[in-house]
Amino acid sequence: MLLAVDQGTTNTKALLIDRNGATVHHATVPTSLHIAANGDISQDLDSIWHGTHEVLRLCAAWAGENQIPIEGLCLTNQRETAAAWDRESGKPLTHAISWQCRRSSVICDRVVDAAAKIQQTTGLPLDPLLSATKWAWMLSHEERVQQAAQAGKLALGTIDSWLLFRLTEGKVHATDTTNASRTGLLDLDRMQWDDSLLSLFGIKAAWLPKVMASAARFGVCDEGLGIGTLPIVAIAGDSHAALIGHGDFAVGAIKATYGTGSSLMALVSSSPLQTSKLARTVAWTLPGDDLSSTTQYALEGNITMSGAALQWVGQFLGLADPAAQSAKLAAQVPDADGVTFIPAMAGLGAPHWSSSAKGLVCGLSPHHRAEHLARAALDAIAMQVADVFEQMRVESSLDLPSLRADGGATRNSALMQLQADVLGVPVYRSFQEELSALGVARLGGLVLGRWKDLSSAEVLQRSTETFTPLLSSADRQRLRDAWRLALDRALLDKVSQ
């Protein structure tokens, strides 16, 4: 039995997964987001740790009661969220800056002349999303972080590093290549922190975690936690783990994870590509002495607000359960009837990369109702995914004949059908809702010798539902044209021309 933790933006889950890939027990606790009046978004690191410890404790207790041995612990996590803590005391120095937060735009402005260097080295466009910009902001604005740096006690990391540090009672400060590849500091060719970029952002290598393979023995859980001395055998960012969970390892395989935001990831050859509007990234790294030789690469496009668009509409309308009730409203109309919503309240990610873009609703007439706005938010999820999908075709020169879909929003069949319609290719919805946890568990199983490689893992059998395009080419083009017109209006640099 493997115990997999999925620490996400809105909740933390732990799942006990058997050798056939079935979840035999799970526990969940909510995770809080702190959204300031100025739009800054942060999370309490102690709360994240306590929630993680609680779900682990519940699952370990259930396993003990049922006399089921746990072989190892695997961890998947929200990415880019930046944490800082005291290496000696293990206490947080400030709240973590959420991956959604745009406060580090000022850092991006400061280093904009190095944008080409950053993208060439790390594969990532310069954007406040990058963890490096968030750590640089902390070093400029958080007194306790500055003091810890001066005293030689500062530890920086993404959420996986923070949890690993706490799980091992401070014995291990490490990360895996997937999380490291999202910081804006990792040289993708050498799989090491880049000295010139560390200097650019004012970050010392000594503050950062050791970079390890995704499938590796990271350490052992401290006995005092009450969950057993479990070996920690795999770590991967949630989007990467979901890609593994789909079980398609051919070059050109592409998936979209629909969550608060969305991530599209397509497997490419082992030679990293140069891209303009997408990110080159690590898909995963298998065990080996040379990380660069055991790494599978991918193209990725990140969308800031997808499921969050429905959430925002629900909050705007004053609904008690914003996301769920917005989805119900959207289902009451066949389409948005000409209303288009660009959810750029925190700027736009791939492939537009505009931090100055603003949210926009257009096409309103007197007869429009709340249902049309909710449907426009649903449409916006599919349209943003289509923007990235089309860019991936251009930059990879791959056909991309289908899309695999996972994440909470995929339960909405209307969204999945719309996605197939606007892409013009089949969409395969996974029936396995916890793909990130299953994906990282498959990495862990590799370390424990359950199978010789990912492709031979018995649990990788896919269970999907297919949505086939129904729209004509002309109707598809009409929808895309209306979206692009509204998109141009949302991009401030175009509006000002």
Question: Looking at 210, 230, 246, which one is the last position of a domain?
Answer: 246
| Residue 280 placed within a domain | no
What is the identity of the amino acid at 144?
R
pLDDT at 462: 60
pLDDT at 497: 39
Strand partners, 41: 35
Domain holding 105: CATH number? Answer: 3.30.420.40
Residue of 387, 320, 311, 293 whose CA lies nearest to 349: 387
86 in the same domain as 6: yes
d(CA 68, CA 78): 29
28 in the same domain as 176: yes
| Residue 446 placed within a domain | no
pTM above 0.85, yes or no: yes
| Residue 276 placed within a domain | no
Q: Are 78 and 99 in contact (CB under 8 A)?
A: yes
| Residue 288 placed within a domain | no
d(CA 384, CA 302): 10
pLDDT at 447: 93
| Residue 461 placed within a domain | no
311 in the same domain as 231: no
Determine the number of helices (DSSP H) and then strands (DSSP E) in the chain: 16, 24
Residue of 147, 127, 140 whose CA lies nearest to 85: 147
Domain span at 99: 2-246
315 in the same domain as 209: no
Distances (CA, A) of 274 to 121, 124, 191, 322: 10, 10, 17, 40
| Residue 186 placed within a domain | yes
Question: Looking at 214, 246, 278, which one is the last position of a domain?
Answer: 246
Reading the chain (497 residues) residue by residue, the pLDDT tens digits are 899 999 998 899 999 998 878 888 999 999 988 989 898 999 999 999 999 999 999 999 999 999 999 999 999 999 999 999 999 999 999 999 999 898 999 999 999 999 999 999 999 989 899 999 999 999 999 999 999 999 999 999 999 999 999 999 999 999 999 999 999 999 998 999 999 999 999 999 999 999 999 999 999 999 888 888 999 999 999 989 989 988 888 888 999 988 888 889 999 886 666 777 888 899 999 988 788 788 999 999 988 888 889 899 999 999 999 988 999 999 999 999 999 999 988 788 889 888 778 889 999 999 999 999 999 999 999 999 999 999 999 888 888 999 999 888 888 999 999 999 999 999 999 887 788 899 999 999 999 988 877 876 655 556 788 999 999 999 999 999 999 999 988 886 444 43
312 in the same domain as 242: no
Tokens of 389: 């999908």
Backbone dihedral angles phi then psi of residue 144, each to the nearest 5 degrees = -65, -35
pLDDT at 432: 78
482 in the same domain as 388: yes
| Residue 261 placed within a domain | no
Number of C-alpha atoms within 13 angstroms, CB side, residue 411?
Answer: 12
CA Rg value for the chain = 22
Residue of 245, 141, 311, 176 whose CA lies nearest to 459: 245
What is the identity of the amino acid at 341?
F
156 in the same domain as 38: yes
How many distinct structural domains can be found in the chain? 2
Q: Are 322 and 311 in contact (CB under 8 A)?
A: yes
Dmax (CA) for the chain in angstroms is 68
Question: Looking at 197, 225, 246, which one is the last position of a domain?
Answer: 246
228 in the same domain as 332: no
3-state secondary structure of 384: helix
Measured distance between the N- and C-terminal CA atoms of the chain, rounded to whole angstroms = 60
47 in the same domain as 130: yes
322 in the same domain as 177: no
Q: Where are the alpha helices (DSSP H) in 33-175?
A: 45-65, 105-110, 115-122, 131-141, 143-150, 159-167
| Residue 352 placed within a domain | no
222 in the same domain as 75: yes
145's torsion region: left (phi>0), alpha (psi -120 to 50) or beta? Answer: alpha
Distances (CA, A) of 73 to 140, 175, 230, 479: 36, 15, 6, 46
pLDDT at 493: 47
223 in the same domain as 139: yes
